[in-house]
A = this chain, B = another copy of it.
Amino acid sequence: MRSKSQNFDEIDNKLLALLQQDADLSQRDLADRVGLSQNACWRRMSRLTEAGILKGRRAVVDGAALGLDLTVFIMIRTRHHDDSWARRFRARIEAQPEIIEFHRIGGEWDYMAKAVTQGMAGYDALYKRLIIGMDLERVTGVFSMEPIFEGRPLVAPG
């Protein structure tokens, strides 16, 4: 049984799911919702934190309220496959605050970046900053017409 080897059970999973949805829940609320005493619940959180599973909390901000209303996935294919170019490219990517996620990927593209911009004008500005002098083979923006959901909690398979 895998849950045994990982040393956690359904209650831990529920705890993790709850905290990923709302880390402002008080110990009392948490304890109530998982059906444990406040004390036992706190011990579990401690264990999960020490095990490195709970890594901290982050504030959630409303992008739209900041004018960041367009989500776009940028697919990139490069002509260069040496280390020094890759480092330069990563630095370029990191310098773009609109890019909130970045992966090296398999398949017909080399990289994928997720960006959130102020409309299409914001994307265009980002695009120009991104490509200049990088000699990319191909770049295409895949636009989110409707972000149906984001940020769902990670849950350990049963």
Select the stretch in A33-41, A76-84, A139-147 that faces chain B: A139-147
Query: With A16-B59, A19-B59, A20-B61 in contact, is A103–B53 under 8 Å at CB?
Result: no
In contact, A56 and B143 (Cβ under 8 angstroms)? no
Say how far A124's CB is from chain B's closest CB, in angstroms: 13
Most buried by B among A21, A52, A57, A150: A57
Stoichiometry, as copies per complex, reads: 2
Query: Interface 1/0s, chain A 134-158, versus B by CB < 8 A?
Result: 0000001011111111111111110
Given A61-B154, A112-B73, A142:B106 Cβ within 8 A: yes
Sorting the interface of chain A by its residue count into under 10, 10 to 19, 20 to 34 or 35 or more gives 35 or more
Q: Is B60 touching A105 in the complex (CB atoms < 8 A)?
A: no
Q: Which of B20, B71, B98 contacts A103 (CB 8 A)?
A: B71
